[in-house]
């Protein structure tokens, strides 16, 4: 956003929202967000299908004690919010490669962000 504001010569003192800046640039900010979410879901499916250290970490089977303070939003919670599915349902669907890929690619075609 900083780059776009520089191109349009909008001062940081001006009260211009990010949506207005993107509208002036004729851009859609959700394209980058969509591609990140799609890649995240594909990596989730990849890690669920393979036996690896990443799968153990993803499932939370790591030794040690928890840190102080509020818990950070976990990666699986974020994926649950993206897919609107429970973790177990997403994990079983991820075991079917073709089903998971079609779900991940069609997830963002159905709904347009507001």
Q: How many CA atoms lie within 13 A of 16 on its CB side?
A: 17
pLDDT per residue over 46-72, tens digit each?
888 888 777 777 776 667 777 788 877
Q: Is the pLDDT of residue 106 over 60?
A: yes
Q: Whole-prediction pTM value? A: 0.55
Question: Could you give the percent of the chain with pLDDT greater than 70?
Answer: 89
User: Using the 8-state DSSP alphabet, how is residue 52 labeled?
Assistant: S
| 78 Cβ contact list (under 8 Å, min separation 6) | 40
The pLDDT of residue 61: 65
Flag whether 10 is in a domain.
no
The pLDDT of residue 34: 80
Range of the domain at 40: 29-60+72-110
> Structurally, how many domains does the chain consist of?
1
Mean pLDDT, range 80-87, rounded to an integer: 84
Flag whether 17 is in a domain.
no
Q: Is the pLDDT of residue 114 over 50?
A: no
Flag whether 55 is in a domain.
yes
Q: Is the pLDDT of residue 110 over 60?
A: no
């Amino acid at each position: 956003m900083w780059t776009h504001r520089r191109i349009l010569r909008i001062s940081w003192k001006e009260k211009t929202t990010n949506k207005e800046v993107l509208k002036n640039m004729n851009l859609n900010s959700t394209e980058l967000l969509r591609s990140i979410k799609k890649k995240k879901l594909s990596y989730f499916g990849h890690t669920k299908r393979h036996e690896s250290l990443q799968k153990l970490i993803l499932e939370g089977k790591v030794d040690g004690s928890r840190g102080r303070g509020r818990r950070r939003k976990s990666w699986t919670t974020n994926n649950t919010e993206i897919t609107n599915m429970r973790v177990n349902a997403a994990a079983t669907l991820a075991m079917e490669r073709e089903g998971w890929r079609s779900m991940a690619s069609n997830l963002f075609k159905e709904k347009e962000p507001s």
